Structure 1
Amino acid sequence: MTELDQRLRIRDKARDLFMQYGIRTVSMDDIANAMGMSKKTLYQWFADKEELVFEVMKGQIEWSESACDSFRSVSANAIEELFRTMEMVEEMFANMNPSVLIDMQKYHPKAFGLFTRHKYSYIYNVIRENLIWGIKEELYRADIDVDIITNYRLACMLLPFDPSFMGKQKLSMAAIEQQITEHYLFGIATLKGHKLILKYKEKRHKSSLHGKTK
């Protein structure tokens, strides 16, 4: 096994633990035990937890950017692209502890800075380009202010991580994100877009039912 392979194995195990339990509660001892190695050996690969958290976030960003790039290339229209993105985000949220972003912001500023730059550069551009695409196709309303709605969408995407918003919500983060995204979509769509949204929703519903009956 190469050095890179070993670092990736440790990074991936740390990611799984962070997503399940949150970043703060998972120690380097926990990660070492999960890997079946001593903490001394773990520190030979990563200098400290800060470096490991940064590498986990870097890996997640690279993975999500690759997925989003592919969605744009294979989607027939802006609404299909957004549905593909929504499914990816919901899948992530389904297995993510809601404290992950809060822990990162409080205790790992370098990793949180990386995420923030990703949010306001890559994600911002993906949302903005999707809006422009949808307007050109007459699926989104021509009267919307693209920059305002892009920033609005950015803010809404992270609401499931906000304790003051979540309150006593009984729905999962994934279910809440679905509701938020659909509200956003119907708000920007034309009548032509509404019909297409309903078509994709029905297709997704049937796919979900098919998956449950397998």
Structure 2
Amino acid sequence: MSAEPTPKTRIRQKAEELFMKYGIRSVSMDDIANALGMSKKTIYQYFVDKDELVAAVVEADVLDMQQDCTDIAHHAKDAVHEIFLTIDRVMVQLHHMNPMLIYDLEKFHFRAFQKFMDHKNKFLLQTIKANLDRGLAEGLYREDLPADMVARFRLESLMIPFNTDLFSPTKYTVADVSKEILELYVFGLVSPKGYKLIVKYKEERLKQAKHDTVSGKTK
């Protein structure tokens, strides 16, 4: 049996849940306290202010994301499979994410935003480059691929789904836009050998989705 989370962890986890759903600016310390059924005074025993709480949420998320990336790379059968596993993870992580979260972070909590950007520009760039190197070594990516340029393009494309001027939240979700961008990205990378794997992995997911739908109807 796992241990009960500490009050500080419970506060951080509830704050993350509310931030993901509503954005950061829209969620007050009172909202977090009410959702937890505790007083705001109790929250301030663990976090000096909202800025410190936001920083704690981002720090924990960054560590989780880095662990996810490491696990995915370790368990992937090949470089193309790694991207499909990433798509699966993105669909879970970003399914209910409010696209205003990144804007709120940059505008009102710059210290936490810098932590996120440091993760993006160092760890994620390294992860993307490692995948490109793997795909080239496996013969799954095009030999003429300008790897450094492509890695930086992929890095910046991570932010596109959060542009609400391009993708209205009433019509698109961050997860769906991220998925489509990742699929377009991998199609641009692959050699004929890698293309066959894309077809294989997409067919496997289609079969699994149909199976899940049928199973859901029969429950």
- The reply to whether TM is greater than 0.5 is yes
How far did residue 209 of structure 1 move?
A: 1.9
Quick check: which one's helix share is greater?
Answer: 1
Farther off after superposition, 203-212 or 191-200: 203-212
Distance 1:168 1:25, change over 3 A: closer
1:171-202 Cα distance to aligned partner (Å, 9 max, x none): 32222211111111111110111110110011
Q: Which secondary structure does the structure 1 equivalent of 2:48 belong to?
A: coil
| Root mean square deviation of aligned Cα | 1.7
Which aligned pairs between 1:132-171 and structure 2 lie closer than 5 A?
132-167=133-168, 170-171=171-172
Show the counterpart of 1:50: 51
Show the counterpart of 2:131: 130
The two structures have a TM-score, normalised by structure 1, of: 0.95
Residues 1:17 and 2:18 aligned together: yes
What stretches of structure 1 of length at least 5 have no aligned partner? none
Structure 2 Cα separation of the partners of residues 183 and 74 of structure 1: 23
Show the counterpart of 2:175: 174
Show the counterpart of 1:8: 9
The two structures have a TM-score, normalised by structure 2, of: 0.93
Structure 2 Cα separation of the partners of residues 168 and 30 of structure 1: 23
Which aligned pairs between 1:48-87 and structure 2 lie closer than 5 A?
48-87=49-88
How far did residue 145 of structure 1 move?
A: 1.2
Identity of aligned residues (%): 41
Q: Which secondary structure does the structure 1 equivalent of 2:26 belong to?
A: coil
Distance 1:3 1:39, change over 3 A: farther
Residue type of the alignment partner of 1:182: E
What stretches of structure 2 of length at least 5 have no aligned partner? none
